[in-house]
Structure 1
Amino acid sequence: MNSDALLTIAEVLAELQVARSTFDAWRSLGLAPECIKLPNGKLRVRRSALNAWLATRVEMAEAS
């Protein structure tokens, strides 16, 4: 799997099993994985950024 693959938001939502509204709320709060805005205005998330973001969620859950 290419760690620099660009995932669509739909792919990210499916993997995380969350609604788009939840993802948008996370973005507005600065809690979502880092997004890339393409020239056409669409958002993408690097696979490596999603994996890193998920790793921080595991660490937070373990600390609780």
Structure 2
Amino acid sequence: MAVVARPAQKLTVDEVCAELQVARSTFYDWRQKGRGPRCIRLPNGSLRIRRADFENWLMECEDAS
């Protein structure tokens, strides 16, 4: 029996904004300033964020105090 790899979960901008409780404009501001999570741009122009990239970005945002 062949093992089928499950593709990594991809989040929409709306899903990320809902999880962080921030406005879409805030997400795009972070993105423009290079401070947001890594994104994948699809051929139709929409963005997706890998769950793993999002989680790594959140860990990098943690205050080291």
Q: Look at both structures and tell me which one has the larger radius of gyration over its CA atoms.
A: 2
Amino acid aligned to 2:23? A
Gaps of 5+ in 2: 1-5
Normalised TM-score (structure 2): 0.85
> Share of identical aligned residues, percent?
50
Please list, as runs of the form range in 1=range in 2, the aligned pairs for 1:25-40 lying within 5 A after superposition. Answer: 25-40=29-44
> Higher helix fraction: Structure 1 or Structure 2?
1
The 4+ residue runs of structure 1 with deviation greater than 4 A are: none
**How many residues are paired up?**
60
Greater relative contact order, per chain length (Cα 8 Å cut-off, separation 6+): 1
Gaps of 5+ in 1: none
